[in-house]
Amino acid sequence: MKFLVKLTSPVAVTIEELVRENWQLGKKTVHSLRMQKAFQTPEGIALDWNTPLEVGQAFQIKFEEEGSSYFPSPKIPVQPFYEDDHFMIVGKPAGIKTHPNEVTETQTLMNGVFHYLDGKGHGYGEHVHRLDEGTSGLVLIAKHPIAKNLLDKMLEKKQIVRTYEAIVEGSVKNNQGTIKTAIASDRHHPNRRRVSQTGQTAITHYQVVGRNPQITKLHILLETGRTHQIRVHMAHIGHPIVGDTLYGARAITAQHYALQAFRIQFRHPITGELVNVEIPRT
């Protein structure tokens, strides 16, 4: 694989400084790039790792692509909302898993993504985050190990902002608010989580964007990313997500509960440009 890059650092840096300090790549990735002489001029001449790159200098990175282990499945349709050489953002339907938990599982989003990438001649694709099986919305997929390293670091530093839309039962009293209650596993139900003082810190911010006497539409930002966090917190304040019977909502005719990750925003880790992808609202 190869792609062209322009140095976006405000000062000249060496390749050594770029990969270790600016990009903070893992030791294994750095070693692999060094051994492959991956950093080259646009004409394909290997660059010295200790010679500074000038601000705005163009260079290419060329390396053997590391393969992912997902089984490609044409049965899972893939809807890309954004794609470049480094990553893609795709829509996950409600009702399928983000990734397989067992090698025998082949009907997950990542199986469909891998089939899509395989058709373009790519052997690598890894999800940066995940959504619950019943939650629909945008998922960020790295297309090579450098992008995976960079995006993982950004997610850890909370530099990737994901906004959810939830429709909950009842009329939420406040137009905006923050829920800060710890979440733990429910020992009485293996698939549930519950609010517990002994659990992990969980912080959810919400804003009302629509309401009637029966339901309220919220936009939600997560400060933490606990399993089922939005579902648990909404149920905890007495407003479970419509259709989420696992957390006390009334049964409805729709197959899935009303929660979607509809927007994702961050600075492109390589170009520095703002990435803002949104599923159109109805």
118 flagged as catalytic: no
Domain boundaries, the chain: 2-62, 79-157, 163-260
What pLDDT, on the 0 to 100 scale, is given for residue 9?
A: 84
For 163-260, give the CATH class.
alpha beta
What pLDDT, on the 0 to 100 scale, is given for residue 10?
A: 87
What pLDDT, on the 0 to 100 scale, is given for residue 103?
A: 81
The pTM assigned to this predicted structure is 0.93
Asked whether this chain's domains 79-157 and 163-260 adopt the same fold, the reply is: yes
What pLDDT, on the 0 to 100 scale, is given for residue 281?
A: 78
pLDDT along the chain (282 residues), means of 10: 88 94 91 95 96 93 88 92 97 96 91 94 94 96 95 95 97 96 92 94 97 96 94 98 96 92 97 95 73
What pLDDT, on the 0 to 100 scale, is given for residue 204?
A: 98
Strands 136-142 and 259-267: parallel
For 79-157, give the CATH class.
alpha beta
- Indicate which residue of 84, 85, 118, 132 is catalytic: 132
What pLDDT, on the 0 to 100 scale, is given for residue 51?
A: 95
